[in-house]
Amino acid sequence: MLTLSEVKEWRSYANEVREKGRIVGLVPTMGALHEGHVALFREAKDRGDVVVATIFVNPRQFDDVGDLERYPRTLEHDRALARGGGVDCLIEPALDAMWPDYPALTPTTVSVGGLGERFEGAGRPGHFDGVASVVAKLFAITGPSRAYFGEKDFQQLAVVRQMVHDIAFDVEVVGCAIVRDHDGLAFSSRNARLSTNGRRHALALSKALALVAQRDDSASAQRALMTTTLLDAGVDVAYADVVNPETLVPSRDDETGERRALVAGLVEGVRLLDNGPVRIVGK
C-alpha cells in the first residue's frame, strides 16, 4: 500500500491511474477506521477500482472544539486496517494542506441549502458546510472517480449527492449498506467512547428502527414509537423522524409508501446516528 501526504503527489497518482484506463475508487474517511470502512474498501475493490482512501479529521465540520479534540485518532491501526482491506493508496494530508488559513475562517465555503439545514444541520450549525467543503476539495484534487460513502450517515450521503448534481463533479457517488456489529449497533468511530453500559443503551437506536420496519403505520405513529423506544432506554433524543429518502422532507400522515426512518441521540455525551427503510400508510 502506497502512502502519500502531499496534494501534488496525490493528484499525480490519480491521474496516472486514469491514464492506465483504471477507475479511482475514492473512500473519504476521518480515520478511526472500523469494519464499516473496510466494507467500503472492499466494495470499491470488488468493482475493480484502484482504491484510494483518505484520512483527514476535518475541523470545519465540528461545531464543538471539545468534540474535535475527543475524536479518536488511531493512525497505526488505521494503516493496518486499510492495508488489510485492499487499499492501494492511503492519503494522509496535513491540516495546512487542506485548510491553509486554519484556524482562521476559510473564505470559500460550499453550502447545500435545504438538505444540509435539517436534522444534523439544525443540531450542529455549519456541520454540513464543513462536510461539503472538504468533500468538494477531495473531489477537486482526486479528479474523475467513483466515491464511496456509507448509508449510516444517510444525510451526509444525500448532501454529497446533491452537491455533485449541482456542481457537476465528474464523480459517481456510491452509497453502501450500513454495517452492524454482532449486537446490531451500527459501526461508528464514536462507539469507542461508549462504556459497556452505554453501549447497551445505544442499542435502542437499532431496536427502534427494527420495530418500525416490522409494521405499516402512519408517519406520526412511527415517530412516536421510535421516540418512546429511545426515551425508555435513557437516550437523550435529538430526533426520530420519517422522511422522503431523497429530499429528507418529513412525511405527512396522508402519505403512503417507502420512506426512511432517521434517529439520533446522545448516550453518555456521545452523539449517535442510525437509519433504516420503513413503510408508511396514510391515515
Residues near 61 by beta carbon (within 8 Å), at least 6 away in sequence: 126, 127, 128, 129, 130, 131, 134
pLDDT tens digits along 160-213: 999 999 999 999 999 999 999 999 999 999 999 999 999 999 999 999 999 999
Q: Report CA 70 to chain centroid distance, whole Å.
A: 18
Helices (H), 115-193: 120-123, 127-142, 154-167
Q: Does domain 189-275 have CATH number 3.30.1300.10?
A: yes
Q: What pLDDT does residue 82 have?
A: 98
Let me know how many helices (H) and strands (E) the chain has, helices first: 10, 9
Which residues are bridge partners to 120 per DSSP? Answer: none
Q: What is the pTM of this model?
A: 0.96
Q: Report CA 143 to chain centroid distance, whole Å.
A: 21
- Cell numbers found for residue 115: 438538505
Q: What pLDDT does residue 208 have?
A: 98
Please identify every residue annotated as catalytic.
37
Q: What pLDDT does residue 66 have?
A: 87
Q: Which of 33, 142, 114 is nearest to 80 (CA)?
A: 33
Burial class of residue 229 in the structure, from the number of CB atoms within 10 Å of its CB (0-12 exposed, 13-18 middle, 19+ buried): buried
Q: Are 274 and 190 in contact (CB under 8 A)?
A: no
Q: Which of 16-30, 61-75, 164-178, 213-227 has the weakest average pLDDT?
A: 61-75
Class of domain 2-176: alpha beta
Look at residue 133 and tell me whether its pLDDT is greater than 80.
yes
All structural domains of the chain with their residue ranges: 2-176, 189-275
Burial class of residue 113 in the structure, from the number of CB atoms within 10 Å of its CB (0-12 exposed, 13-18 middle, 19+ buried): exposed
Q: Calculate what percentage of the chain has a pLDDT beyond 70.
A: 100
Which whole number is the average pLDDT over 123-150?
97
Q: What pLDDT does residue 63 have?
A: 86
The Cα 242–Cα 212 span in angstroms is 10
**Is 2-176's fold the same as 189-275's?**
no
- Residue that is written with C-alpha cell 405527512 in the block: 252
Adjacency order of strands within the sheet including 236-243: 236-243, 257-267, 270-280
The Cα 243–Cα 257 span in angstroms is 11
Residue 84 CB neighbours (<10 A): 11
